[in-house]
Chains A and B, each alone.
Chain A
Amino acid sequence: MKMNRRGFMKTCGIMAGYAVLGVNLTKEAVASAMDFVGMRQKSVYDADANSKIYKYRKSQDNPMIKKIYDHKNGFLHEGPCGHMSHHLLHTHYVDRSARLATLKDKGFKFNL
């Protein structure tokens, strides 16, 4: 494998990290990013399971969901995926691959 300048700089950076911080500290610094996310994730699941914050745990049990989908007077009275739902709540997608193909033709390299 050919070593380019950036690869060399990066390797030097990692080596310097180990040299200055020691193996354990550098490992900790890398792992801490996901621990940080894990703390936020735990808080989300705790709130879900806390009946003082969320009285209901299933979407279909939300009284305001029952109200909007009410068969008689609800705004979405036809139920999920009905006409009004399709008008307001559903969408379509656009093929955006052509712009990427143009870039690749110009010589840009991407990961996919």
Chain B
Amino acid sequence: MKQIEGVMYQANAPKGVDPDGIFFVQVDPAKCEACGSCDEVCATGAIQAINDDGIHAVVDPAACMNCGQCLVNCPYGAIYEGVSYVDEIFEKLKDPDTIVVSMPAPAVRYGLGECFGAPTGTYVGGKMHAALRKLGFDYIWDNEFTADVTIMEEGTELIQRVKEQGKKNARPLPQFTSCCPGWVKFAETFYPDLMPNLSSCKSPIGMLGPLAKTYGAHETHTKAKKIYTVSIMPCIAKKYEGLRPELADSGFRDIDATINTRELAHMIKTAGISFNSLPSQQPDPALGDSTGAATIFGNSGGVMEAALRLAYEVLSGKKLDNPDIKVVRTHEGINTADVKVPGFGTVKVAVASGLSNAAKLCDEVRAGKSPYHFIEIMSCPGGCVNGGGQPLDPEIRASLFRSTVAQINKRFRARKVTA
């Protein structure tokens, strides 16, 4: 076990194993104070009291969606991660025969700075690319590029589904997004009858892995078998996704390693890089350049807004003058909207933030009562910016400890003064 940005990690880098058997998050019974914060935030009930003292545990990986909301909300730091590729990545970076490729997700650049003292949410995309170069990554590719690809693929799929309604073998509506790995496992586990509604598109990282080893290898004249792809995510469930046996379409494992924002911060610190004094740098263009539509994937409602920026133009044939579609932006709960597209009609959409809200929309679809064309679901409330792999909210631990201590100290001092 090692501590990384306030969270304990097991140095376990699984290869070729069934991810269904792995505990990606688990409770250290010695640190659990039986407060129950974790089972309050868990939508499935996978984390629960296992004895009369109220000590908690993830009872079985089959019921855990690996979202890590229990971990980021535990005030005692009692929940640890079961998988970390950090040591392996350091080895690969040293190996001159391995071409190591970085693939950071949108939300990472809004959390990473916090580990280096920046205020909450500070954008550090340029510094992040510079840090990855300094760490020795051979290509600075970016998952935001494949967020743009996802919009092209998933938007086209949605338009196809809408057009084929009423025909034979039509794929059903609503179409669900498939970017969030916690949600995908949730659908497979609790709503397998709705799998035909899930977009067949891989998530952005599921697309960047195989593109890196085919298109990327071709563009850079690199042998695909030398490429080692590192997915950098605000997420714990992405570690599960990276191990899915079906993600091997490039002829190799599409994703070789997955780490999260906290682990990237740890790597930068371990390498002795002075993050705050780094210049702002661009990614390598072929699989690196991206748009605002890609970066908003990090927020709940972002995939929806980005997809609508495409669907509006394709369906209406007109230019969308103001790309802000604020009605779908979601902070918590469920958000629904009717988006009027000229020459087409109304596109009915819904966005769910958190899996218990997702279940409500799923029940509606299952009952045949869902009026929507397109539904976006994010497992973590607020979206990836609040992912299980992001830097911890200092308030969650401070609120319990520091403010209690501060209050007691204040009363103690106040009493002394008046005495």
Binding site for B on A (CB under 8 A): 5-6, 9-10, 13, 20-21, 25, 29, 32-34, 36-49, 53-65, 68-69, 75, 79-81, 85-97, 99-100, 102-103, 108-112
If A34-B382, A96-B189 touch, whether A62 touches B36 (CB-CB below 8 Å) is no
- Looking at B5-13, B96-104, B196-204, the stretch in contact with chain A turns out to be B196-204
Extra A-B contacts (4), CB below 8 Å, given A43-B110, A53-B292: A10-B35, A41-B329, A59-B293, A61-B291
Cα distance A52–B33 in the bound complex, in angstroms: 47
Task: Let me know if A58 and B286 touch, CB within 8 A.
Answer: no
Beta-carbon contact of A89 and B201 below 8 Å: yes
- Tell whether A57 pairs with B291 under 8 Å between CB atoms, given A38-B331, A64-B145: yes
Task: Specify which of B45, B206, B289, B292 is in contact with A110 (CB 8 Å cutoff).
Answer: B45
- B295 engages A59 (CB within 8 Å): no
Interface stretch of the complex, out of B84-92, B127-135, B146-154, B344-352 = B146-154
B309 part of interface (Cβ distance < 8 Å) = yes
Q: How large is the interface on B (under 10, 10 to 19, 20 to 34, 35 or more residues)?
A: 35 or more
Q: How far, in angstroms, from A87 to B250 measured CA to CA in the complex?
A: 9
Whether a CB of chain A sits under 8 angstroms from the CB of B29 is no
User: Is the CB–CB distance between B207 and A62 below 8 Å?
Assistant: no
Q: Which residues of A contact B399 (CB under 8 A)?
A: 29, 32
Contact: A111 with B43, CB < 8 Å?
A: yes
Tell me the complex Cα distance, A105–B387, Å. 32
Inter-chain CA distance A69–B36, complex, in Å, is 50
- Minimum C-beta distance from A33 to chain B (A): 6
Contacts of A94 in B (CB 8 A): 188, 246
Chain B residues within 8 Å of A80, by CB: 152-153, 155-157
Interface presence of B338 (CB below 8 A): no
* Contact A9 to B54, CB < 8 A, known contacts A25-B403, A60-B313, A64-B285: yes
**A21: chain B residues within 8 A (beta carbon):** 403-404, 407
Contact A44 B299, CB 8 Å, known A34-B381, A36-B120, A95-B195? yes
Residues of A contacting B52 with CB < 8 Å? Answer: 5
| CB 8 Å contact bits of B167-198 with A (1 = contact, 0 = none) | 00000000000100000110111101001001
* Structural contact, B106 and A95, CB atoms closer than 8 A: no
Name the B residues within 8 Å of A47 (CB-CB). Answer: 110, 123, 125, 292, 295
User: Does B336 sit within 8 A of A, measured CB to CB?
Assistant: no
